[in-house]
Amino acid sequence: MRKVIASVFISVDGVFEDPSWSMPFWNAEAEEFAGAQLAAADALLLGRVTYEGMAPAWTARAEGADAGTERMNALPKYVVGSSTAAPEWNATFLTGDLAAEVTALKRQDGGDLLVYGSGRLVNALIEHDLLDELRLWTLPVVQGKGRRLFGEDSPVKTLRPVGTTVLGDSGAQVHAYVPLAAG
């Protein structure tokens, strides 16, 4: 059974929108961590907005690409939400019942289903108990404005910390959480 792993860049004040502000914290340790989680995945699960931002950026890097870029471009992508565009970048749009479609993907054999960004999707996965691990790349910056990952309408769920990875001397850390089992 596959796991759904969400990997989200977030500022200390909770902003995840347009993480271009994360680049000053990217270093060898971050690249190694990101490479390992990408290697463990055999598909991406993305929200439509994240897909529409990532697809042109990654396909533009295809020529003369490194192994990580080649892997990112080659992986199948499952995109939640409809789009007026035809699927590209190895994408399949999931337009039916989110819980049923993600449950079916999880039941397949294979590696992780990796979620990048995709705030509404992350919240929906948590609400439906479909998220197996949440990795918050907490970056030591206050954004002040922008969309926050969790808002007033986010589901109430208890998470258990399972580890922290310090990404060199940048001040960035990846905090990993799993849902606390009910009962």
Percent of the chain with pLDDT over 90: 79
Nearby residues of 179 by Cβ (< 8 Å), 6 or more positions away:
126, 129, 131, 132, 157, 158, 159, 160
The pLDDT, as a whole number, for residue 183 is 39
Percent of the chain with pLDDT over 70: 98
Supply the pTM of this predicted model.
Answer: 0.92
Report d(CA 118, CA 48) in Å as an integer.
Answer: 8
Is the pLDDT at 52 greater than 80, yes or no?
A: yes
What average pLDDT score do residues 126-140 get?
97
